[in-house]
Chain A
Amino acid sequence: MTRAVVFALAVLASPALSLAGDARPTPAAVTAPAERVAAPEGRVTVPAERVEVPPPPFSEGIFPCSNCHAGMEPNRERRVLTDMHTEITLRHDEAHRWCLDCHDAQNRDVLHLASGEPVKFEESYRLCGQCHGEKYRDWRAGVHGRRAGSWNGHKTYLLCAHCHNPHQPRFQALTPKPAPKRPTRFIPSKGAR
């Protein structure tokens, strides 16, 4: 029985039929994983429809932003920052974007969507999802990005921001771990099978 299922899936998966793979996911498939999320302690939890994530990857001491910004007049002018945040350079469609498109001008402790709806940093994926819908759907399904927990139970999600710096989202190249030793007993051909 199970063998038959596997075979059916294997056939489905064959490259010949792969065009079907471009079909858009149904909304049901996308929201399903989130509904199974429960809320253990010690983690940031977000209400239904939201997913559980580890704390956002802020630099130490930067949050809450309101420590400084509460008493500051928001400056909507597009400019080079000189007094603070000088390490931030936008490389994210920067010709069309400025800080306050994502960060809320009135309450710096939150982000905001295009609609103006405030969004907590724990839910920054909703902001990203507005412009990267397809990636967001895959992410919800656990296919883009990464989930932790158990494969048959409770899972937590890494935020987009855990892997992509929102200001320069291109994934940084990594230094690889050492190459395996070449076997001495057998002289390998380059293509080792």
Chain B
Amino acid sequence: MEPTAKQERGMTRRQFASCTAAAAAGFLMTACGPKRLFDMPRDRLRTLIRDMERDYTEKYGTAVTVADTPPIPGVKFAYALDVSRCIGCRRCVYACVEENNLSRDPQVHWIRVLEMDKEKGIDFAHADPYYEADKVPREKHFYVPVACQQCDNTPCTKVCPTGATRVDPDGIVVIDYDWCIGCRYCMAACPYGARHFNWSEPTIPEGQLNPNTHYLGNRPRPKGVVEKCTWCIQRTRAGRYPACVEVCPVGARKFGNLLDPESEIRYIIEHKRVLVLKPELNTMPKFFYFYGT
């Protein structure tokens, strides 16, 4: 009985031993490893955030707030983008830049709009993010905006040596910039090119800083850390829609609670043709693409 079961699982005694050892080592490392933001005692966090607000306020000359709003219980965020509606106007790209205090120079964009050929379908080998046009949509083309897919099975967090990046209970993949050491393993692991590195000091022109920030989101970043889309964590954890959803002139962008049967996300999953990017990688994105037609 015993040996057959083992063979079925295709595991030898030796493999089993090394797996156990690895698991034990892993457990030890996480257990003794660095404390994450929300493991920190509340009062220490408060002090940390107050100092941060003071520094930013001084540096940017405007009253900056840094929120630490936690995930809402019973909420798992999801996003859906109507590929049949998107016209590639890039309004979302720049709304994101302003909302999330992205560096203008060097230029960082969390959203990349890929232009694809209708003839070829969704094909990353023939996707062009640099298209120029007087008017969009261009004939024979369609558009696929790509940002962080907020995977449930995240290749990026698994390779992080410091625990700086993780999946929060509401499904948002976050980065604690104070713990990021800039090794960029996560960037190599991400199959969607959704993580961006601050090669030099980010710049935001005077008066253009969005002062409503979140610790894990759009607070000003230093040089040398990785950043990415957080579904506007500073807005969505406060009940608002992400900036890209609000700006989209064709209404292609949808956002809501996957666990709420009445959310637009659930309606889309139940009534529309839905797909995810690179499903073969089993990353289980919570960013869906659909055909609203």
Contact = CB atoms under 8 A, between A and B. Distances in A.
Do most interface residues of chain B lie in helix, strand or loop, or is the interface mixed? Answer: loop
Nearest to A154: B239
Contacts of B128: 190-191
Interface string A1-19: 0110111011011110010
Contacts of B88: 176
Contacts of A175: 89, 134-136
B284 A150 contact: no
Contact of A29 (B193, B259, B260, B267): B267
B275 interface: yes
Given A9-B258, A163-B250, A193-B193, A177 B269 contact: no
Interface in A109-143: 138, 141-143
Contacts of A142: 254, 264, 267
B115 to A, nearest CB: 10
Contacts of B127: 190-192
Contacts of B255: 151
A158 B246 CA distance: 11
B60 interface: no
Interface in A139-171: 141-153, 158, 163, 171
B274 to A, nearest CB: 4
A171 B239 contact: no
Given A13-B274, A18-B273, A177-B90, A141 B126 contact: no
Contact of B251 (A25, A163, A177): A163
Given A12-B269, A25-B271, A145 B256 contact: no
B274 A173 contact: no
B273 A22 contact: yes
A185 interface: yes
Q: How large is the interface on A (under 10, 10 to 19, 20 to 34, 35 or more residues)?
A: 35 or more
B258 A5 contact: yes
Contact of B263 (A151, A191, A192): A151
27 contacts: A6-B171, A6-B258, A10-B284, A12-B269, A13-B276, A15-B273, A18-B274, A21-B271, A21-B274, A23-B270, A25-B270, A147-B264, A148-B241, A150-B239, A151-B255, A153-B239, A163-B250, A173-B136, A173-B137, A175-B135, A176-B90, A176-B132, A177-B89, A190-B128, A191-B125, A192-B127, A193-B192
Interface of B: 72, 75-76, 82, 87-91, 93-94, 107, 109, 112, 124-137, 152, 169, 171, 191-193, 199, 236, 239-241, 245-246, 248-251, 254-260, 262-264, 267-276, 279, 284, 286, 288, 292
